Amino acid sequence: MFLQNKKSPIWYLNLLLFSLIFLFQGSLFLSPFFNAFTTTRIIYSFLILKFMGRRKIQRQIRYNLFTDPGEQVLLRNRWVVAILNEPREIRRIEQRFYEQLSHVDDVNVHYYSLIKGSGFYCKIISFSSEKSKILSPEKIYASSNFRRDRGLVERSEVDLESYVKNLCK
């Protein structure tokens, strides 16, 4: 539990602070003020060390497009979209995709799961559309974390697990 992310200088600093507080705690029992202060610092140091190993996962959207060149295909563009965000925002972003790429059909949800330690969910969907280009990407998600990923394809849920792990790095 305490040995996560050992290479960080902040980790060593907190470990030193944590050790010093325990060493001098016996001499600070004379005053209730110092005792409360020491207890607070111990709890603070413990919480910092406990949560230091967690990395911050960013909200992001990845998409990919496959075009079927057949003559008789009405909806020739197949979109695959991965959204990493809160559930409420996922629904909003998904709706914006459908509005931008009107005449959406054959919607499939391939993956929907909580990302451990982040509070975010990842949802991977695919759908067919007439349009092959997003005209206003800023209306869907105005961020640099919205981009095309050629590695995102329709595949089994087990393979998508590894994709999501790479997405969260």
Residue 118 has pLDDT above 90, yes or no: no
Express as a percent the part of the chain with pLDDT over 90.
51
Question: Residues 135-151: pLDDT tens digits?
Answer: 999 999 999 999 999 99
Residue 91's pLDDT is what? 96
Hey, where are the domains in the chain?
Answer: 9-51, 60-167
pTM (two decimals) = 0.68
Confirm if 113 and 165 have CB atoms less than 8 A apart.
no
**Structure-block tokens of residue 27:** 């001499």
